[in-house]
A and B are shown apart, each in its own frame.
Chain A
Amino acid sequence: MSLALFLALHDMDDMPAGHAMTAMQTHESWWRRAIQWVTGLFSTPTSIFSPQATPAHTIFSLSMLVLAITLAIFLAVAGLMLYAIIRFRHRAGDSNADPTQVYGSNQIEVLWTVIPILILVVLFLSTARVISVNEQARKPANALDVVVIGHQYWWEYRYPASGVVTANELHLPASDPKAPTPTYMTMSSADVDHSFWVPNLAGKMDLIPNKVNVMWIDPHKPGLYLGQCAQYCGTAHAKMLIRVYVDSPADFAKWIAHQKMAAEDDPAAAEGRLAFEHTACVNCHTVNGTSAKGKFGPDLTHLASRDTIASGAIRNTPQNLRQWIDDPNSMKPGSLMPKMNLSSHELDAITAYMVSLR
């Protein structure tokens, strides 16, 4: 089973990079490098086996139990099968007479009915406990509320307490396991089904139109956590990526304060702002403090403060922005943002305006 190997190797994931290449390099370092190479095969930012929040931790512990039990069953049953087909094969010199005809045995049937039932009782009770821990956890008073709305093919995040609205890059405060400040996400969809899945933080939860689901996470360490939409939602489903930025509580407070501000009005980008406000851009996008109040596409008030555009699919650089505004479908096929047939001059101006929205 490659899994056992995987798990054993996973623990070594924390080894400092290039460990084998230090001055202490010896003749046996080839196997260290081999191990590192294999470990590298399994290192991924989205593994379910590196939990960084309580929900993912509880699932991880349950999965270890389930994997251990199923592995034991596999070894026992597959071992018996292998033994049977080798031991009871028809050999070259054997007579052609049929073996003893055996029709069955009630005692044995009872045995292999009762033993699996006992195993299932253990599995079921452990599972039921984890379901309860996750789904019936009491919401603490200091929990942060976030509303998550799925769109074809991007994520809308709203912070009701502060009135902040943003898109595609979710910011959360880290939660100290000793004094948890979890985030409760109220989820729905504006169009078709989507599913929010960041494997390091929790299992997935679907976003379904005309239905409200709630999930919570309490990331323990600051950092960037990746995931993507896990329910097929149409052409660009594969490019509906998720980025969760977990900040220290102080950084998070700073981020909220910045996002609450109205859009920057940089005089140098005035021409681009004019062009933006005079095209259909404003039908879909909001820029706080201006006449752009569209709801169909992502809020652009602080677009330049984000690392990526197109729901995590493209790095947020002026060149990429310009190409994106020119022809979104060339970068993300299926995107619902239309090509606006802008002139090269208008493109430059609007790109400059977008870059000014810090």
Chain B
Amino acid sequence: MMPPQTAGAMTFDSPPSHPKLWLDAVNEWFTTVDHKRIGMLYIGYALVFLLIAGLEAAVMRIQLAVPNNHFVSPQVFNRMFTMHGTTMVFFVGMPILFGFGNYLIPLMIGARDMAFPRLNAFSFWISAFGGLLLYFSFIGGDGLYGAGTAPDVGWFAYAPLTAKLFSPGHSTDYWILGVFLSGIGSVGTALNIVTTIVCMRCKGMTMARMPLLPWLYLVTSAMVFIAIGPLTAAQMMLGFDRFLGAHFFDVQAGGSAVLWMHFFWIFGHPEVYILVLPAFAFANEIIPVFSRKPIFGYSAMVGATVLIGFISLGVWAHHMFTVGLGPAGNTFFTLATMIISVPTGIKIFNWLATLWGGKIRFATPMIFSIAFLFQFLIAGLTGIMLSAAPFDWQLGNSYFVVAHFHFVLVGAILYMIFAAFYYWFPKMSGKMLSETLGKWHFWLFTIGFHLTFDFMHIPGLMGMPRRIYTYEADRGWAVWNMIESIGMIFQAAAILIFVWNVVRSYRHGEEAGPDPWDAWTLEWSTASPPPHYNFAEEPVVHSRRPLWDLKHPQAPDSDYE
């Protein structure tokens, strides 16, 4: 590791300290409008939900380990996959990505906070309340009489299964309200991120000099504006159906089940890219630093991101190849979906070119990023298979699809979240995470991930549909399901090591210093953890890598860009 650079790390003297009461600390966290604290609240909250959703996945894997198992009842299994999916997308993926965005964007663009600090706090707390409301359904879903229950309609909650007739009680109402509130929070944060990036960049930071992370968050946030609207509208319509006797999705009264699918997926597919662009953003920061080279093709990366943003709004019906769209619809959405692989490919090739000719250091953030590259490549290729409508008529709604999107959501997004965590934890806490435990975490998780999700493709090809609580013994799916379930044990062990690493390193970790990775963007120019005002003086930048310029005054980037 290079000696820490101290450029700009000057801080004001802290005010005279006095012993802080425990309650004061809680009060500070509850009332904070500091982007860094809100970011960490988002991340902490998401990690708690990650553990809960992981437990739900474990219940499913135990149930499916052998055919005709009776570990849980069908009702419980159906709640588990509904809650697992909903939680992972809305209460793990979204908050953790917004958390990193909140924490990093002002620091990376040389600002002292987000544009709207109070809106920021509101967005977090309303999303957090949404998550609590969703989970309250475990006790409140049936009213308070009888056993508790939770939503069991699947995370995309297809009509008319969500109608009062087929989903009595209140579990579906909790699903509507919980996700609805998280949507409000997402739009608030997206608005904040866009405004911050457009208005609050430091002196010298033109859009063309902005690091790629804020660029990708800009595109993601713009997509949130467009995507969340249809979801919220659909949830209101469904609420009207359930409470006020409207007939949007009431097929008995001429409503349309397909209407819900269109509304949901015009949100749902951009949502995948909303989640994956921040993961790309982390890769764009981490891969160059550990290859010791600038990102290859900065402008191509920005262009590809903007293209992905636009095209992703026009591919939603590839989730609906089997609902009878007709040949014209199926052909159009096949084409649109295939086209999106071009800008995605450009990204993979640019990362590869960034590695090329570098001096790659295999610190924990980097090994997670390298695994991400391979796994995202596979996810992209199975995505191409699914984009061919006739192939999708076989693969759609099978375990092949489940394997495919877990390669995206876990193999790509969760891996980059881990990478980001190992990379920026020193900045957030001032302490390094243990490299030894980090590598244990990586290898155990990778073994588990591949046992579970590589082998999950096979029963899909062999005719196993998703969302079944059990399966027939004569179908030949048992071996593969057993292997998948064994993989879950490795993943669980890895997550425990991760949690232990965080707790232990926070208490006894090595001091990080302002710039432990010898990196180049502005967040590394201030202390770790940064003071609440971030920078004592507003930074001035002349290139995309301001710290490179400081460290190499004889050959600054500004001469080459």
Contact = CB atoms under 8 A, between A and B. Distances in A.
Interface residues of A, number: 93
B257 A47 contact: no
Given A88-B360, A98-B292, A101-B560, A197 B465 contact: yes
Nearest to A83: B356
Nearest to B166: A192
Interface string B282-306: 0000000001111011111000000
Contact of A59 (B258, B353, B391, B397): B391
B330 interface: yes
A210 B254 contact: yes
Given A117-B342, A195-B397, A229 B465 contact: yes
A11 to B, nearest CB: 16
A204 B342 contact: no
A85 B355 contact: yes
B52 interface: no
A198 to B, nearest CB: 9
Contacts of A98: 292-293, 359
B322 A120 contact: no
Contacts of B2: 96
B333 to A, nearest CB: 10
B553 interface: no
Given A123-B338, A131-B331, A90 B397 contact: no
B393 A204 contact: yes
**Quick one: which of A45, A108, A199 has the most chain B CB within 10 A?**
A199
B322 A204 contact: yes
Contacts of A2: 454, 458
B492 interface: no
B319 to A, nearest CB: 12
Interface in A71-88: 73-74, 77-78, 80-81, 84-85, 88
Given A2-B458, A98-B292, A229-B465, A211 B479 contact: no
A322 interface: no
Given A192-B160, A195-B322, A231-B397, A103 B294 contact: yes
Contact of B394 (A63, A80, A103, A123): A63
Given A197-B465, A237-B468, A211 B393 contact: no
Nearest to A211: B258
Contacts of A334: 74-75
B232 interface: no
B204 interface: no
B397 A81 contact: no
B160 A100 contact: no
Contacts of A226: 463, 475
Contacts of A130: 388, 390
A81 B393 contact: no
B254 A128 contact: no
Interface stretch (A36-44, A160-168, A248-256, A295-303): A36-44
Contacts of A48: 394-395, 461-463
Given A81-B374, A127-B388, A46 B393 contact: no
A67 interface: yes
B463 A104 contact: no
Contacts of A355: none
Interface stretch (A26-34, A132-140, A267-275, A339-347): A132-140
Interface string A192-230: 110101010011111011110110000000000011111
A88 B160 contact: no
Contacts of A80: 352
A162 B243 CA distance: 45
A35 B462 CA distance: 19
A144 interface: no
A288 interface: no
A255 to B, nearest CB: 24
A18 interface: no
A227 B359 contact: no
A67 B327 CA distance: 23
Contact of B78 (A102, A214, A230, A235): A235
Contact of A127 (B326, B350, B390, B469): B390
Nearest to B343: A113
A287 to B, nearest CB: 27
Contact of A44 (B357, B362, B463, B469): B463
A205 to B, nearest CB: 6
Contact of B161 (A84, A229, A232): A232
B472 interface: yes
B215 to A, nearest CB: 15
A221 B335 CA distance: 35
A2 B360 CA distance: 30
A70 interface: yes
Contact of B346 (A113, A192, A204): A113
Nearest to B354: A102
Contact of A199 (B331, B377, B463): B463
Interface of B: 2, 73-75, 78, 152, 154, 158, 160-161, 166, 251-252, 254-258, 291-294, 296-300, 322-324, 326-327, 330-331, 334-335, 338-339, 341-342, 345-346, 348-350, 352-353, 355-362, 370, 373-374, 377-378, 381-382, 384-385, 388-398, 454, 458, 461-472, 474-477, 479, 555, 557, 560-561
9 contacts: A44-B476, A59-B394, A62-B391, A103-B294, A112-B345, A113-B342, A117-B342, A131-B334, A206-B324
Closest 7 pairs between A and B when the two form their complex, measured CB to CB: A203-B393, A46-B463, A238-B468, A44-B476, A213-B324, A104-B297, A209-B251
Given A77-B349, A209-B252, A334-B75, 9 more contacts: A6-B458, A6-B461, A70-B385, A112-B349, A127-B391, A131-B330, A131-B389, A131-B390, A210-B255
